[in-house]
Amino acid sequence: MHNKIYYALVFLLGLVSCNSNLVFSEYEAMSNGKWEMDEALDFEFSDLDSVQRHNMFINIRNDNTYPFSNLFLITELEFPDGNTQKDTLEYKMAEPTGEWLGKGLGSIKENKLWYKENIVFPDSGVYKLSVVHAMRKNGEVDGLHILEGITDVGLEIEKSTQ
């Protein structure tokens, strides 16, 4: 068992080290693969190049218990000066055939989802990103209080190559 964990960690470190443009990467694990509606996931980052353009990605890991083919998220990006940008985002998670999108072996798939492209972080200080899910069942007004099948949510920031 310990050998499997060791090899998995070496593999993941190898993946991260292959991307020299990566400047920030952080994940939040969901307890028992369940994401509560009022559970905001907060990511904080600072000290990014104030001239360089960056691409931001929200990374989602899901398992076979995820009951939908899409995912709605609400994000709020707070700048050091207090200004915020709020977005409602929709991502496709599966093909119409039911085949999961994303990468990974076994029952866990990871989706690297575009969030912001060619964004500049001109101000020094701490930037904060808050992410909540906004899923609901078809025809229902109230949102889904517990979203099953999401195992981890992450934020990655890379230097843009454009």
DSSP the chain: -HHHHHHHHHHHHHHHHH-TTEEEEEEEEPGGGEEETT--EEEEE----SSSEEEEEEEEEE-TT---SEEEEEEEEE-TTS-EEEEEEEEE-B-TTSPBPSB-STT-EEEEEEEEEEEE--S-S-EEEEEEE----TT-SSPPSEEESEEEEEEEEEE---
Q: Per the domain annotation, does 102 fall within a domain?
A: yes
Q: Per the domain annotation, does 17 fall within a domain?
A: no
Q: Which pLDDT does position 142 carry in this prediction? A: 82
Q: How far is Cα of residue 151 from the mean position of the Cα atoms in its chain?
A: 11
Q: Which pLDDT does position 4 carry in this prediction? A: 55
Q: Per the domain annotation, does 27 fall within a domain?
A: yes
52 close to 159: Cβ distance less than 8 angstroms: yes
What is the mean pLDDT of each successive set of 10 residues along the chain, which is 162 residues long? 52 58 96 94 95 97 95 97 96 93 91 96 96 89 90 97 85
Q: Per the domain annotation, does 11 fall within a domain?
A: no
74 close to 114: Cβ distance less than 8 angstroms: no
Q: Which pLDDT does position 144 carry in this prediction? A: 85
d(CA 62, CA 80): 32
- For the CA atoms of 104, 105, 109, 110, the dihedral, rounded to the nearest 10 degrees, stands at -20
Q: Per the domain annotation, does 10 fall within a domain?
A: no
Q: Per the domain annotation, does 14 fall within a domain?
A: no
Provide the number of structural domains found in the chain: 1
Q: Per the domain annotation, does 122 fall within a domain?
A: yes
Q: Which pLDDT does position 10 carry in this prediction? A: 47
Which of 149, 115, 146, 144 has its CA nearest to residue 131?
Answer: 115
Domain range for residue 65? Answer: 22-159
CATH no. for residue 55? 2.60.120
Instruction: Report the relative pairing of strands 70-78 and 146-148 from DSSP bridges.
Output: unpaired
Q: Which pLDDT does position 125 carry in this prediction? A: 95
Q: Per the domain annotation, does 8 fall within a domain?
A: no
